Amino acid sequence: MDNFKIVDPIFLDLEKTIVRFTLVDELGSSKIAEFKVPPNKEKGINKYWDRIVEEFDIEVMREKRNSLEIQRINEKEHFSKKQKAQEENAKLIRLFEAKAEAFEYFFIKEAPPEIKSSVRKAPTVEIVRSIISIQMQKYMEENELTISDIVDKLND
Residue-wise DSSP of 75-131: HHHHHHHHHHHHHHHHHHHHHHHHHHHHTTSHHHHTS-HHHHHHHHH-SSHHHHHHH
pLDDT at residue 116 in the model? 96
Burial 76-113 (b: 16+ CB within 10 A, else e): eeeeeeeeeeeeeeeeeeebeebbeebeebebbeebee
The predicted structure's pLDDT at residue 96: 97
Query: How high is the pLDDT of residue 86?
Result: 96
The pairing of strands 30-36 and 5-11 is unpaired
pLDDT of residue 26: 84
Q: What is the pLDDT of residue 94?
A: 97
**33 forms bridges with which residues in the sheet?**
21
C-alpha span between 125 and 122 (Å, rounded):
8
**Is the dihedral angle over the CA atoms 139, 141, 147, 148 positive or is it negative?**
negative
CB atoms within 10 A of CB 38: 14
Q: Is the CB of residue 35 less than 8 Å from the CB of residue 48?
A: yes
Q: Where are the domains of the chain?
A: 5-78, 94-155
Helical packing angle, 125-142 and 113-121, nearest 10°: 160
Q: What is the DSSP letter of 155?
A: H
Tell me the per-residue pLDDT of 66-75, one tens digit each, with 9 for 90 and over. 888 889 899 9
pLDDT at 104: 94
For the chain, what's the residue count? 156
Residues of the chain with pLDDT under 50: 1
